[in-house]
Structure 1
Amino acid sequence: MKFTETRLKSILLSGAAIGTLAIPGVAIAQEADQDAGFTDSNVIIVTASKRETTLQEIPIAVSVTSGEDIENAQVRDLIDLQTLVPSLRVSQLQSSANTNFIIRGFGNGANNPGIEPSVGVFIDGVYRSRSAAQIGDLPNIQRVEVLRGPQSTLFGKNASAGIISIITERPQFQFGGSVEATYGNFNARILKADITGPISDTLAFSIAGNINKRDGYARDLNLGIDFNDRDRWGVRGQLLWEPNSDLSVRIIGDYDKIDENCCIAANIRSVPGIFGALQLASGDPRPIEPQSPFSYEVRNNFPSINKIENYGGSLQADYSLGAVSLTGITAYREVRSFTDQDSDFTSADLIGQNSADTAIKTFTQEVRIASDFDGPLNFLLGGYYFNEKINVDNGLAFGGDFRTYANALIGAASGGAFSAPAVEAQLGVPQGTFFQQGQGLFDSYDYKNNSYSAFGQIDFKPLDRLTLTFGFNYTKDKKRVSSNAVSTDPFSALDFVAIGNTLITQQGIATTVGQALGLPGLANAAQIGAFAAAQPALFGQIQAGSAAFAQANNLNPAVNPLIGLQSLQFLPPFLNFPNAVEDGRTNDDDFAYTIRANYEITDNVNIYATYATGFKASSFNLGRDSRPSAAVFIPGSPVNNPAASPIRDAGLALPNLTTGSRFAGPENSEVYEAGLKAQWPLVAFNLAVFKQSIKGFQSNIFTGTGFALANAGEQSTFGIEFDGTVQPAPGVNIFVAMTYLDPTYDSFVNSAFGDLSGTTPAGIPALSASMGGSYTHEFANGMTWSVRGDYAYESRVQIIEGLNAFGPGNQQAGAREFTREVNLVNASTTLELTNGLAVSLWARNLLDAQYITTVFDSVAQSGSVSGYPNQPRTYGGSVRFKF
């Protein structure tokens, strides 16, 4: 077989020694012999370490979705892919640039550019480090592979939870191409085109592009505009040079852009007092749509901005030296995103700005050598270099209605004792000092990451049907981060404990001196001064007693009503780093490995057992919740907490400085897995049982004002995965894939919601399933008609661990009431003519199922809850022409 032909069937991890375990009905199939009109599409040929073998022989848990099935199911992006892969969950959060991937219940990385995802995403062998670089619509996909469990020995970039690998079509030496136009509800317009062909006998090209536009399916009643629209386009060019059968060079360049108004957050619960304050601030009798998330109607006071540019290039060279092949992949990528959002999600102008301007530059270099010996021993060995620079500028500022809103909350929090003007008068500052439009927190971060790794795998076959595998990955990772953050919110800089302590002491002295002088009320300053001069000993006792009373009661809101105002100090002064205590650096290293045994019981049945470990390096919190850890700082006012700590000792303590995390330490994962794989001409099934855990899982949870980054002690999941396919009649294919997960926080003492040890992590359904079937009929003239349907199910699950509105922990009844159950039905039908023309009708979420994807504490609205509703039913028609 020619090298170029082998390459067309391999690329499973770019020639790395790995294979696939297919989701039924959605795998890349090699045509085999036909028996009584049935196509043996269960025999799938892959190439591992340049060795051609069948899918059955490769003991790796991988779900494979073909480009054809992606096309027929109208899967437009990775968010839709989860309906076909039960072990994968994808959620889009507050912006187009924040998408979270979860495999087997493990995953993080959205909402903060300093956090690398636990699930790695690769496109044509090139690592995409952040979700903003992963979500663009890719033209001309050949297949998508979802590798489950920690991956380290065949990827230079270690991934602790799993990998999504996207492979696009290579340039062909035969002229061809396609054009596709789609129109759907919400005025959806999609245009895709690609062309490929030879430039010479040794050089081929391909160019592909796509435009994806759609009106918003949500409506802002205050602004009179649509929300959650789609506006993205991209172009991708490739060159393939194959001067002989031993050398192949592939050059890829791409650019894509997103400019969308996304994403709505609906009101799930509003507190009457908060609702009244919103009415007062906005002058709007209906500042939010009360508890009607599936009306898809919201009220904001400015549209969201989501502008993302993602571009780069790569060069892959493969050279064959007989039984040994060399591979090198060099890539450079940039991502630039700017987002801004009305994060209070009301018509009141509370949050006038919540912007993030992010620039990411990534360079990667990978080299591999792999063998294809006839003997019992084969190997793969590689090296990987990763260099990344990130610059982030965030801005959070009060809007024009915030002072009126805060004034109402101050009155409620102090029992009517204070208002904003009254606090200003009490403190002797000019009127209008607090809660002014434009005040806020403005922070910038400079992030640098260098990582090196060596990885490899050895396959040893001591017996004809037994293969033993050992793989390794050694990673060295260094990060360096600096911050420059400034808070211009003077109210949040007030130490209400110290101020209250002084006021209580002064009032105690005035009261007691007044009583001693027989006055009808408080003594004034002159009277106190005269008393102190006349009776210094007695005054000293009065002063000491008043100070002791203040010390004992300055945290008592009945004595110090200012304490109730601490909940309105949203943006306290920020301690920048590096500083004398915190160096802003991490230096991690890890040795991960895989041990596997694979035995072919018969030609049709294969079993395997695997133990593998994985690793993800430390992640930094590049946001306003980046705070020193409890190990270096003891929070609290010096009046009540003068205890020594490195931050205090260095003179770095600031008013209202609290603890949190600058960074989360590494994740270390491991999996015990056993699997059975069976394939016959008309039936195939795969079964995997596993126990997977991550120590130090990097949890990133929204708290109502920001994100808390922390390491869970350990999170583990026991799981069972099954997928099967059967062809009961010519043209009929029935498939089912199911995943059962039983996750547990074995240890998570310091979560944002208290001690979660022993509880069930939220958002992970116990049972996920994808099932369906397709039927294809071929007419006598060669024309074909096909129909396809699939059903995706997720059992009811608690959406979030806990909400600040309901106290810590997921045992709170308020948090338990927010649950999600998913029932999605998708369908399509296609008529394909012999001249390459095809017409399709399709629908996603055909029955218009409704559920909330996630919930969170409403911003600056204590006690209220917001959430993201799922996408409603979409449908349309497509016309394709292939030539």
Structure 2
Amino acid sequence: MRHSSVLFATSAVLALAAIPAHAQSASPAAAQAADAAPQAAEQSGGLEEIVVTAQKREQNLQDVPVAVSAIGADQIEARGVATFTDVARVSPSLTITENTNATGSSINLRGIGTFSFSIGIEPSVAIVVDDVALLQQAQAFSGLNDIARLEVLRGPQGTLFGKNASAGVINIVTQGPTKTLTGSVGAVLTTDDQRRIEGMLSGPLTQGVGFRLNAFYDDRDGYVKNLNTGHDLNGERSYGVRGRVDVEAASNLDVVLTGAYSNTKSNGLVRTFRSVNPGASVFGAPIAGSIVGIEPSDDNYKIRLDTEPENVSKQAMFTGHATLDLGGANLVSITAYQDWRFNFIEDLDTLGTPTLLNTADPTSILPNGSSAVANFHAKNFTQELRLVSTGSRRLDYLFALFYANGDTTRDYARGPNAATSWDASAKTETFAAFAQLTYDITDTTHLDGGIRYNHEKIGASFLNTTNVAVPPANNASCLSECTGSGTDDRVTYKVSLRQDVADQVMVYASYATGYKGQGFDISTGFTPTRAANPVRPETSQAYEIGVKSRFLDDKVQLNLTGFWTDFKDFQAQGGVTLPDGTIIPQLSNVGSLRSRGVEAELSARPTRLLRIDASAAYTDAKIREFANAPCYTGQTAAQGCLPVAGGATFQDLSGATLANSPKFKYNIAVNYDVETPSLPFDGFVTAEWAYQSRVKLDLLGSPVSYQGAYGVFNGSIGIHGRDEKDFRVALFVNNLFDKSYATSLGYTGSSNAQAVAQLLPRNSRRYFGIRTRVGF
């Protein structure tokens, strides 16, 4: 702990408290220039300059040798990006796989993501909020509020963002204080019974002190009808508040303090039946009794459940960000603490009729079937200290130290069928040192290089609290607490060469190594063997070439990227199917993967009133080697499920496509402003079309897990004041053509007479709404 004590003592000189929101290292002059960019673009009729922090310093998007999708507050509002899942419409190769609760969802970039039930495995795509990475991926699945900018960094970003960014980063930057006292009140009302209100107040408190306070309340009814109770499931109620204070503590010291809290309660997501074979059953109970009044189909929004789900997420984050201007360089300290609690209960059998405790005993009736309950608690402290060069120079540099200490606990219980219960914890402590240098070889040739050393210590504990009639020998099921630990040291690096081939045209090539830390498969079935053998780290080698260009007087921006990434020891969640049909999760290292493809992003402003944004991606993401993969539920020998000693089975997934990785994905958004000089307001029209090709939603390749290609159209029409702060009113439609699609598909029931269950997200249905905002 000596190294962390030195780091804390140094950073304490800078950080007056612990809390962030805006971890920028740019000077006030740079911030003013960024603020002025949209106005200058508006006057010239061209595209605004987009400033990003993809390399932990404020830079023009077009100067960064990284594949980045970025949109600002205006586009976020115009395109209706209101939830985290909406971010998938912003980036050409981002997909999000939703599950029955957020802890089972997956975020994927270029086909690479992490689907794991274990609290001991970090995501492949890091979620960073105001320069602070979230510990658990599930923390990200909440509403977006008061956002200044969204950045999606594609490809390994471990050099600057650490071991949980092996596939990329989603960087969320919230709004900061305004220079004058301003405020706004907004509301959303939809035909699917969403009612949302939000407010913001911002401005100076006194000389050198500014503040921003925003809050929201959101109440949305469900869209899946439980015929057993008449209740609407998959609804959500949430509220939250964020406060920020910017203090000019001295002429060369700026401090930003931020605190945020959110509370979200939902009664789903629940699955519905897409198809049911005659005679299908779950735990000895015929499914037929639970589909009375229901027609299983790909647009079935009805279910019968005897246990209605409930998910509750409570999250708090406090950050302190201090910047000391040393003259020619800034010393930056970022101190953060996050606390996240998540609880869920869900129906295990997905039925609304009684099941049997023992399928061989018709008298062992369970009137309310079986359910599963879990409680999570994650805490994480992080400290980062950076020295960042400022001003114009031939050599720019960033040197940094980083420390993190995270602790996640989980208890889980299910039954009476497939009964199990356990308590577990996962700990991680990380120390890292990293650097990045940019050298201008000539006025038009630039070399970027970065390196990171990462030291990590992990630990796990697991206590099986299941009541068993005959305890196994040698504590094989952790009836006494099983513990494990591990350490790892790793060096990753990145190098890129940029060449300015013309005014506002840059080409680049880069090579990067990626790394995702080892972890424990903490889930049902944990054993001393798992405790002694953490899942190995996954590593990657990434090659990327790109072109970033602007032309026609800043009216057109075109960025092209080609990428090729090889992964080794990829961490993947599978499952082992027991004789009674119960699936036991199992995390393992896939031999190797390959993700390669081409991405294109276009923004155009042919006239001052018309803006077009488009993106497209072709992604070939495949498993190169996974010879001993688990079989999917119901897989036969003819379908490739082969037996091995001990009664286990396996399949060879080498050559298979990765889950939720569409070959083609594209998006086109159009915004047209309508001037009405004779009226005290102007109008606008927006239209957006998003399409993706056929995908499989199960890594193991179940034939029923394929979602066909689909496209979704969203649009809006409205009016706004001449000063955008005055007011804005929009009538909008989601999924105009009512195209139903699933984000999860798989078998449920016994393996000899199966049924297919699906998860249909809210946006798979058409709904209309009105969105208003009034400023003052």
Indicate whether the TM-score tops 0.5.
yes
TM-fit CA distance, 1:34: 6.5
Would the aligned equivalents of 1:209 and 1:235 in 2 still touch at CA under 8 Å?
yes
2:613 match: 735
Counterpart pick for 2:200 among 184, 194, 198: 194
2:312 match: 307
Would the aligned equivalents of 1:487 and 1:573 in 2 still touch at CA under 8 Å?
no
1:762 match: 659
> Relative to 1, partners in 2 of residues 1:156 and 1:738: Cα closer, same or farther, differing over 3 Å?
same
Query: How large is the RMSD of aligned CA atoms in angstroms?
Result: 2.9
2:739 match: 849
User: Within the alignment, does 1:30 sit opposite 2:37 as a pair?
Assistant: yes
Separation in structure 2 between the aligned mates of residue 104 and residue 766 of structure 1, nearest angstrom = 10
AA matched with 1:793: Y
Would the aligned equivalents of 2:378 and 2:409 in 1 still touch at CA under 8 Å?
yes
> Relative to 1, partners in 2 of residues 1:237 and 1:773: Cα closer, same or farther, differing over 3 Å?
same
Separation in structure 2 between the aligned mates of residue 844 and residue 322 of structure 1, nearest angstrom = 51
Which digits, 9 at most, give the CA deviation of each residue in 1:157-208, with x for residues without a partner? 5510000010001122310111101110121101111101111111111111
Residue correspondence of structure 1 range 60-459 to structure 2 within 5 A = 60-156=66-162, 158-275=164-281, 284=289, 286=291, 289=294, 291-350=296-355, 351-372=369-390, 374-398=392-416, 440-459=419-438
- Helix, strand or coil at the partner of 2:544: strand
2:560 match: 687
Would the aligned equivalents of 1:825 and 1:847 in 2 still touch at CA under 8 Å?
yes
AA matched with 1:852: A
- Helix, strand or coil at the partner of 2:121: coil
Compute the TM-score of the two structures, normalised by the length of structure 1. Answer: 0.75
TM-fit CA distance, 1:358: 0.8
Separation in structure 2 between the aligned mates of residue 783 and residue 322 of structure 1, nearest angstrom = 47
TM-fit CA distance, 1:664: 1.9
Counterpart pick for 1:748 among 619, 623, 626: 626
- Helix, strand or coil at the partner of 1:207: strand
Separation in structure 2 between the aligned mates of residue 732 and residue 865 of structure 1, nearest angstrom = 45
1:866 match: 757
1:828 match: 716
1:792 match: 690
AA matched with 1:830: G
1:777 match: 674
AA matched with 1:594: K
- Helix, strand or coil at the partner of 1:82: helix
Which digits, 9 at most, give the CA deviation of each residue in 1:436-456, with x for residues without a partner? xxx821101022111111111
AA matched with 1:574: S
Would the aligned equivalents of 1:28 and 1:64 in 2 still touch at CA under 8 Å?
no
Separation in structure 2 between the aligned mates of residue 91 and residue 258 of structure 1, nearest angstrom = 20
User: Within the alignment, does 1:876 sit opposite 2:766 as a pair?
Assistant: no
User: Within the alignment, does 1:815 sit opposite 2:703 as a pair?
Assistant: yes
- Helix, strand or coil at the partner of 1:739: strand
Would the aligned equivalents of 2:445 and 2:497 in 1 still touch at CA under 8 Å?
yes
User: Within the alignment, does 1:613 sit opposite 2:613 as a pair?
Assistant: no
Separation in structure 2 between the aligned mates of residue 299 and residue 320 of structure 1, nearest angstrom = 62
Separation in structure 1 between the aligned mates of residue 98 and residue 23 of structure 2, nearest angstrom = 26
TM-fit CA distance, 1:84: 2.4
Would the aligned equivalents of 1:114 and 1:620 in 2 still touch at CA under 8 Å?
yes
- Helix, strand or coil at the partner of 1:852: coil
AA matched with 1:14: Q
Would the aligned equivalents of 1:615 and 1:669 in 2 still touch at CA under 8 Å?
yes
TM-fit CA distance, 1:833: 2.2
Report the count of equivalent residues.
704
Residue correspondence of structure 1 range 635-654 to structure 2 within 5 A = none
Which digits, 9 at most, give the CA deviation of each residue in 1:470-523, with x for residues without a partner? 101111111111110133355x9899xxxxxxxxxxxxxxxxxxxxxxxxxxxx
**Structure 1 or 2: more helix by fraction:** 1
User: Within the alignment, does 1:623 sit opposite 2:523 as a pair?
Assistant: yes
Separation in structure 1 between the aligned mates of residue 168 and residue 619 of structure 2, nearest angstrom = 15
Separation in structure 2 between the aligned mates of residue 16 and residue 667 of structure 1, nearest angstrom = 34
- Helix, strand or coil at the partner of 1:727: strand
Separation in structure 2 between the aligned mates of residue 468 and residue 593 of structure 1, nearest angstrom = 14
> Relative to 1, partners in 2 of residues 1:801 and 1:158: Cα closer, same or farther, differing over 3 Å?
closer
- Helix, strand or coil at the partner of 2:195: strand
AA matched with 2:37: Q
> Relative to 1, partners in 2 of residues 1:357 and 1:174: Cα closer, same or farther, differing over 3 Å?
same
1:665 match: 536
TM-fit CA distance, 1:271: 4.0
Separation in structure 1 between the aligned mates of residue 514 and residue 301 of structure 2, nearest angstrom = 41
Separation in structure 2 between the aligned mates of residue 50 and residue 348 of structure 1, nearest angstrom = 55
Which digits, 9 at most, give the CA deviation of each residue in 1:372-420, with x for residues without a partner? 354421210101111011111100111xxx6xxxxxxxxxxxxxxxxxx
> Relative to 1, partners in 2 of residues 1:830 and 1:38: Cα closer, same or farther, differing over 3 Å?
farther
TM-fit CA distance, 1:212: 1.2
> Relative to 1, partners in 2 of residues 1:494 and 1:458: Cα closer, same or farther, differing over 3 Å?
closer
TM-fit CA distance, 1:57: 2.1
Separation in structure 2 between the aligned mates of residue 712 and residue 866 of structure 1, nearest angstrom = 26
> Relative to 1, partners in 2 of residues 1:278 and 1:269: Cα closer, same or farther, differing over 3 Å?
farther
Compute the TM-score of the two structures, normalised by the length of structure 2. Answer: 0.85
Counterpart pick for 1:469 among 434, 448, 454: 448
Residue correspondence of structure 1 range 497-646 to structure 2 within 5 A = 574-575=477-478, 584-627=484-527
Bigger mean CA deviation after superposition, 165-174 or 852-861? 852-861
Would the aligned equivalents of 2:23 and 2:334 in 1 still touch at CA under 8 Å?
no
Separation in structure 1 between the aligned mates of residue 277 and residue 540 of structure 2, nearest angstrom = 42
AA matched with 2:546: G
Bigger mean CA deviation after superposition, 617-626 or 863-872? 863-872
**Structure 1 or 2: more strand by fraction:** 2
TM-fit CA distance, 1:857: 3.1
Question: What is the identity percentage for the equivalent residue pairs of Structure 1 and Structure 2?
Answer: 28
Larger Rg: 1
- Helix, strand or coil at the partner of 1:706: strand
TM-fit CA distance, 1:725: 2.1
Separation in structure 1 between the aligned mates of residue 445 and residue 283 of structure 2, nearest angstrom = 71
TM-fit CA distance, 1:135: 2.0
Which digits, 9 at most, give the CA deviation of each residue in 1:121-180, with x for residues without a partner? 011111111133212223211011111111122225551000001000112231011110
Separation in structure 2 between the aligned mates of residue 336 and residue 796 of structure 1, nearest angstrom = 36
- Unmatched 5+ stretches in structure 1: 1-10, 18-26, 403-438, 496-571, 630-658, 803-809
TM-fit CA distance, 1:338: 0.8
User: Within the alignment, does 1:721 sit opposite 2:602 as a pair?
Assistant: no
> Relative to 1, partners in 2 of residues 1:752 and 1:13: Cα closer, same or farther, differing over 3 Å?
farther
TM-fit CA distance, 1:576: 5.3
- Helix, strand or coil at the partner of 2:255: strand
> Relative to 1, partners in 2 of residues 1:47 and 1:770: Cα closer, same or farther, differing over 3 Å?
closer
Separation in structure 1 between the aligned mates of residue 280 and residue 164 of structure 2, nearest angstrom = 46
Which digits, 9 at most, give the CA deviation of each residue in 1:772-814, with x for residues without a partner? 2110123326622111111111111233244xxxxxxx4xxx6
